[in-house]
Homo-oligomer: A and B are copies of this chain.
Amino acid sequence: MKRIITLAALACLAVGAYAQQALGPGTGIVSPEINPDHTVTFRYFGPKAIKVQVTGDFLPTRAVEYEVEGHKLTFDAPGVADLKEGPKGIWEYTTAPLTGELYSYSFLVDGVRTMDPSNIYQNRDIATWTNIFLISANEGDPGWYYSVHDVPHGSVSHQWYDSPTLGKQRRLTVYTPAGYENGKAKYPVLYLLHGSGGDEEAWSDLGRTAQIMDNLIAEGKAEPMIVVMPNGVWFNQAAPGEAVNMFQPTMQNSRSQSTAEIEESFPDVMSFIENNYRVAKGYANTAVAGLSMGGRQSCMLSLSYPKKFGYVGLFSGVAVPDGNEAAFDAVFAAHPKLYWIGCGKSDGIMVNSRKLKEWCDSRGYPVTLYESDGGHIWRNWRTYLTLFAQQLFK
């Protein structure tokens, strides 16, 4: 009987959570709590749970290998820590002090992945929602750049454009720097491409692009620029909920099987931007960069249009020189201002990243390879954007 009453009470709470706009007290539990020493306490109400754990990227990682289309990749799986049951069915765990970063986590309640019901901050990556928290900490920490500070803010706009090449309307995201609306100046453009399974909201949401750009520009570390984040999957017109079909994103249905489509359709994106924004055009004012699939797409775009992009950023995604030698020769014949590769040391893509770097070195082509810790993860891509953006249009 006691169990029945408890279930009824919990169901009632759950139903209460539906009361829109005039109720919604949350759980009454603070989780995560960022303590003054930058330790973080997680709490979970689970009076019936046998085991409650937290898994997150702030815990010691372990490398997990896997294979996609013949590529051996590695990712750093986050560790797991046990919460301890305290009074009133509230479980608790406190981390070691953490540095300024954007961290991801979820709970494992009796082994089942469960979102933290006390934390409304979460991100979707492909088909998985994950709770997040942000430690701003010291200026210069990655997390400091991902936080909103009291600096002039740019705008983030979701627009639609016609792609005659693909025969459809498509959606893209545009960051314009503070002052754009009120001014008359023309701005250089960074085209920033997402990875497989991503969409035109990936860089603005998971990537914290607006916050990074606002903070870098306010500090004088980056030039004011327009950042264009298109959808790089030719058969999707837009992000889930913004497209005509209510699709469930998966690696299968969101992976662009070849990059040929983007090479053909990308001029549609550029002409929309150049016709609708105050753009400083030309090689020295145009950059392209992307992560994973978007890195490979950026590389292929540079090969297809060697005189278009004066700055190229390949984040955990490259094309190999084999078979592309003449195209790479053409790229470097145009003397790019920056050809920058970022890759994690435990990322399977590192093999090809080093191969490209070595081949370019052997020809005397100036390429930067930035080797970070970690693998094929968003934490790296935010860092690469922060580093890459500071080198543009100077």
Tell me the dominant secondary structure on chain A's binding face. Answer: loop
Q: Which of A112-147 contact B (CB under 8 A)?
A: 112-115, 117-122, 124-130, 133-134, 147
Q: Is A391 an interface residue (CB 8 A)?
A: no
Spell out A's residues near B (CB within 8 Å): 6-8, 10-11, 13-27, 30, 46, 48, 51, 53, 55, 57, 64, 66, 68, 73, 75, 77-78, 80, 104, 106, 108, 110-115, 117-122, 124-130, 133-134, 147-150, 152-160, 169, 171, 178, 181-182, 195-198, 238, 240-244, 246, 248-251, 276, 291-292, 316, 376-378, 381
Is A22 within 8 A of B117, CB to CB?
no
Shortest CB-to-CB span from A245 to chain B, Å, is: 9
CB-defined A-B contacts under 8 Å, sample of 10: A17-B106, A17-B113, A20-B378, A21-B195, A21-B291, A22-B73, A26-B250, A120-B124, A153-B169, A182-B276
Q: Report Cα–Cα, A124/B133, bound state, in Å.
A: 17
Instruction: Answer whether A26 and B127 are a contact pair too, CB < 8 Å, given A17-B113, A160-B155, A246-B134.
Output: yes
Contact residues in B for A48 (Cβ distance below 8 Å) = 110, 112
Closest to A62 in B: B15
Contact yes or no, A14 B55, CB < 8 A:
yes
Among A6, A7, A21, the one with the most B-chain Cβ atoms within 10 Å of its Cβ is A21
Cβ-defined partner of A157 (8 Å) among B17, B51, B156, B197: B156
A198 proximity list for chain B (CB < 8 A): 21
Contact of A21 among B8, B182, B197 (CB under 8 A): B197
